[in-house]
Amino acid sequence: MKGFFITGTDTDVGKTWFTARLCRFLRQNKIDCGIWKPVQSGFPANASDSDRSILKDIAQLDDSIDEICSMTFEKTLTPFLAAKAEGKTIDWQTLMSHGSLLANKHDCMLVEGAGGIAVPITENKMMIDLAVELNLPVIIIARPGLGTINHSILTIDYLKQHGLTIAGLIMNGYDNTHEFAKSLSEIKNWTSIATNPLLIELFSNQQILGKIPLDNDIVDISDFIDRKKLINLMNDQLN
Ligand SMILES: Nc1ncnc2c1ncn2[C@@H]1O[C@H](COP(=O)(O)OP(=O)(O)O)[C@@H](O)[C@H]1O
Ligand SMILES: [Mg+2]
C-alpha cells in the first residue's frame, strides 16, 4: 500500500476532518487517492455523522462506507473494548485483508487511525502495529495550544522507536488569526499557540505541513497546507 498513515496526538484532534479534506485535495490534483478507516467506534453503523460517512462525503469517494470501514462499533471505547462490548473480537487477518482489497482499487491511500497511536485494537495489537505493518509515512494531527509540544514529541518518538518515517505534523484548530514565531530570538511575550509550531519543529526535527483554522465551512484546505510538499511526498511514492 502507498500513501500516508494519519494519526493524532489524541482522539478528537481532527483526524477525520483533515483526512477527508486532504483526500479531496489530492483527488482534485489528479491523484487517485482512497481512504481506509480500519476501525471506527462511537457511532451506530449507519449514522450519517460517523467517520466513514464523513470521509466518503467530503472526499467524494465512490467506495461504499463498508469498504471505507468494515469494522464499526457503537460504543465510544477503544476498538478492542468497543468490539468486546458487542461480544466480538477483531480478527487481524480479516481486518488487514479488507484494507488490501480497498487499496487495490486506488493508486494510494490515506489510512485514518482511531484515537492516538497507542490504542488497543485486539488483545495483543495496537494502532502502532497496524501502522508498522502498513509501513506508510505518518502524518500526525496535533492541537495548537498548551500541551501539544509534549503530546507531539511523545507521538513522534514512539513512531520513530517503531521504525516509522514521519512525513510531518498538521496543527489543527486555530480559533483566531495568529502570528507565528519564526525563530527563537523573536520570542518575547509570545503565547503558547504562537510558538508551539516553531518549538515542535526545533525539538523534533520534523516539519509542520499545515496550520488549520477551526472553521467547519472550510472544505478546500489548500490555503492552509504545504501543497507542494504533500503532493511531492505522495508522488515520490507513486513514481
Ligand atoms: N479545523 C476544524 N474546523 C472545524 N471543526 C473541526 C476542525 N477539526 C475538527 N473539527 C471538529 O472537531 C470534532 C473532532 O474532529 P474529528 O476529525 O472527528 O477528530 P478525530 O478524527 O481525531 O477523532 C468534529 O466534530 C470535527 O468536525
Ligand atoms: Mg476520526
* pLDDT recorded at residue 177: 84
C-alpha cell at 194: 504562537
Ligand 2 geometric centre to CA of 16 (Å): 4
Ligand 2 geometric centre to CA of 87 (Å): 23
- How many angstroms from the chain centroid is the CA of residue 104? 21
90 burial type by CB count under 10 A (0-12 exposed, 13-18 middle, 19+ buried): buried
Give the chain's radius of gyration (CA, Å). Answer: 17
Asked if residue 99 has its Cβ within 6 Å of ligand 1, the reply is no
User: How far apart are alpha carbons 227 and 221 in whole angstroms?
Assistant: 9
Asked if residue 144 has its Cβ within 6 Å of ligand 1, the reply is no
Asked if residue 13 has its Cβ within 6 Å of ligand 1, the reply is yes
Q: Tell me the sheet residues that pair with 4.
A: 110
- How many angstroms from the chain centroid is the CA of residue 92? 21
Could you tell me if 163 and 138 are in contact, meaning their C-beta atoms sit under 8 angstroms apart? no
Give the model confidence (pLDDT) of 11-30 as tens digits: 999 999 999 999 999 999 99
Asked if residue 219 has its Cβ within 6 Å of ligand 1, the reply is no
Least confident span in 7-21, 68-82, 90-104, 172-186:
172-186
Q: Is 56 a catalytic residue?
A: no
Could you tell me if 10 and 143 are in contact, meaning their C-beta atoms sit under 8 angstroms apart? yes
* Section 129-142 average pLDDT: 98
Could you tell me if 117 and 131 are in contact, meaning their C-beta atoms sit under 8 angstroms apart? yes
Q: Which pLDDT band holds residue 228 (cuts at 50, 70, 90)?
A: very high
Asked if residue 189 has its Cβ within 6 Å of ligand 1, the reply is no
Q: Which pLDDT band holds residue 174 (cuts at 50, 70, 90)?
A: very high
* pLDDT recorded at residue 169: 98
Helix (H, G, I), strand (E, B) or coil at 193: helix
* pLDDT recorded at residue 188: 83
- Distances in Å between the Cα of 205 and the Cα atoms of 64, 126, 153, 201, 208 are 39, 26, 10, 5, 10
Give the model confidence (pLDDT) of 34-85 as tens digits: 999 999 999 999 999 999 999 999 999 999 999 999 999 999 999 999 999 9
**How many domains, the chain?**
1
Closest Cα partner for 88 from 105, 67, 71? 71
Find the ligand nearest to 52 CA. Answer: 2
Rounded to two decimals, what is the model's pTM?
A: 0.98
* The pLDDT of residue 139 is above 90: yes
* pLDDT recorded at residue 236: 96
Report the nearest atom of ligand 1 relative to the CA of 18.
17
| Residue 159 lies in domain | 3-238
- How many angstroms from the chain centroid is the CA of residue 108? 15
For the chain, the average pLDDT equals 97
* pLDDT recorded at residue 187: 85
* pLDDT recorded at residue 23: 98
Query: Which CATH number fits the domain that encloses residue 207?
Result: 3.40.50.300
Ligand 1 geometric centre to CA of 186 (Å): 32
